[in-house]
Amino acid sequence: MTMDEFLKNMSGRFGSNILNINKKSDKRAYIDIYPKDIKEFVRYVFKELSFRFDTASGVDDFDTLEILYHFSHDPSGITISLRAILNDKQDPHIDTITDITRSAWWIERELHELFGIEFNDNPDLRPLLLPDDWPKGVYPLRKDFQPPKRDSRKE
């Protein structure tokens, strides 16, 4: 499977549900999608096409939050990123993909605590990296995060 074949099949299957395709090279492509369709896309690339889930990365774009789900296809050497843009920064939420692949178990917990993204129907969103006494509603990887002053520890 080459990148062009993959993109053609994907366009044929999802049509107007794909917002934009940015083919960076024969090995890399970024595909923008609606957050509501994430499950269908992940089911297609992970289950049907046997891509390997690399990781997901959240990005704070000041006005919006976006999640990139990175997948690699080892037999053909292509890597794709599904970009879901969450417009509501106050209450960002997206469906969980942990029921499709357990490999997303930790990364959803991480995105939840570092970006404040809610994953619908994910039963396990306990903190993974931050300490237990981390204040609620403070998300360190957002651009507006201000690290606490050192003096505040003395109080």
Partner 1 sequence: MSHNAHIPIGPYHPLQEEPEFYKLVVDGEKVVDVDVRIGYNHRGIEKLSESKSYDQSIFLVERICGICSSSHPIACCQALEDIGDIEVPERALYIRSICQELERLHSHMLWLGLAGHFIGYNTVFMWAWKYREPICDIMETVTGNRQNYAMHKVGGVRRDIEKEHVSYILKRLDEFTKHLTMLKGAVLDDPVLHERLKGIGILSKEDAIDYAAIGPVARASDVDIDVRRDHPYGVYDRVKWNVITQKEGDVFAKAVVRILEMFESVSIVRQCLDRMPEGPIDSNPKEIPPGEGIGQIEAPRGECFHYIKSDGTNSPVRHKVRAPTYMNFPTFRETVIGETISDATIILAAIDPCYCCTERMLIVNSHDKNVMDVNELIRLSQEKTRLIKDKYKAI
Residue 146 burial (C-beta neighbours within 10 Å; 0-12, 13-18, 19+): exposed
* Residue selected from 68, 86, 97, 117 as contacting partner 1 according to rule CB under 8 A: 68
Whose Cβ is closer to partner 1: residue 9's or residue 76's? 76
- Residue pair 94/117 in contact (Cβ under 8 Å)? The answer is yes
* Residue selected from 19, 34, 88, 129 as contacting partner 1 according to rule CB under 8 A: 129
Segment contacting partner 1 by CB under 8 A, of 2-10, 13-21, 67-75, 88-96: 67-75
Cα–Cα distance measured from residue 99 to residue 120, given in angstroms and rounded to the nearest whole number: 11
Q: How far is the CB of 130 from partner 1 (least distance, A)?
A: 6
Rounded (10°) CA dihedral 43, 47, 51, 54: 60
By CB under 8 A, tell whether 57 contacts partner 1: yes
By CB under 8 A, tell whether 28 contacts partner 1: yes
Cα–Cα distance measured from residue 82 to residue 30, given in angstroms and rounded to the nearest whole number: 6
By CB under 8 A, tell whether 36 contacts partner 1: no
- Residue pair 40/69 in contact (Cβ under 8 Å)? The answer is no
Chain positions contacting partner 1, by CB under 8 A: 24-25, 27-28, 30, 50, 52-55, 57, 59-60, 68, 70, 72, 74-75, 77, 79, 81, 101-103, 105-107, 127-131, 140-141, 145
